[in-house]
Amino acid sequence: MGADVAVAEKPVKLRETERTDSKVRLLRSEIPWLPEEYYEAHLVKMRVGSHNFLFGSAIRSKPLIAAANQLDAHRSEICNKLLYSHLPQFTEGYHPKVRLVKNHRSKQPIFEIDNNGGQRVFFIRFNNLDNMQVIVRIAVCDKAMEDEVLSVITTDSRKFIKKSARL
């Protein structure tokens, strides 16, 4: 009986965060919605199971900050968990629930993770640093604010975004 319990329990993937001195410099010429000429996002080393990557956050511009501020603590935590659960597999090459945002305004591709509850997380993947991928979160929101976020990070008009809104 004791052996059955041990077999049934699976090890939990531990998430570890380690501070680094690493930064990624984001330029307005590459990310047009930045309110300043450049922004340096500080990076932490994330380890989830055996996957390592560098992670930072750069939610800049008034509309993106407003959309993030609409999230209560619970929904904000859900957005973080979406990142922690999807990024390890994504950094290995592919995750079926991570989608490319069409018509993005940045020079780097923008990716989106969402869930049925309505939370959305947008991020950019940059070149490797210290043999680890660099992921920078650029926006988080609920479905109700998704149109506002897309109007900032894509070249689509508000009218087009509203018309083509996902149900």
Q: Do 139 and 124 contact (CB within 8 A), yes or no? A: no
Strand partners, 7: none
Q: For position 82, what pLDDT does the model report?
A: 92
CA 155 to chain centre: 19
pLDDT at 9 over 60: no
**Domains of the chain with CATH codes:** 57-163 (3.30.2310)
Q: Do 43 and 22 contact (CB within 8 A), yes or no? A: yes
Neighbours of 70 (CB within 10 A): 15
| Mean local confidence (pLDDT), 41-68 | 91
Q: For position 166, what pLDDT does the model report?
A: 52
Q: For position 109, what pLDDT does the model report?
A: 95
CA distances from 141 to 8, 112, 124 (A): 37, 11, 16
Alpha helices in the chain (DSSP H): 2-8, 62-69, 73-91, 146-153, 158-163
Span 82-92, pLDDT tens digits: 988 898 888 88
Range in 61-70, 87-96, 152-161 with the lowest mean pLDDT? 87-96
Alpha helices in 13-122 (DSSP H): 62-69, 73-91
Axis-axis angle for helices 62-69, 146-153 (nearest 10)? 160
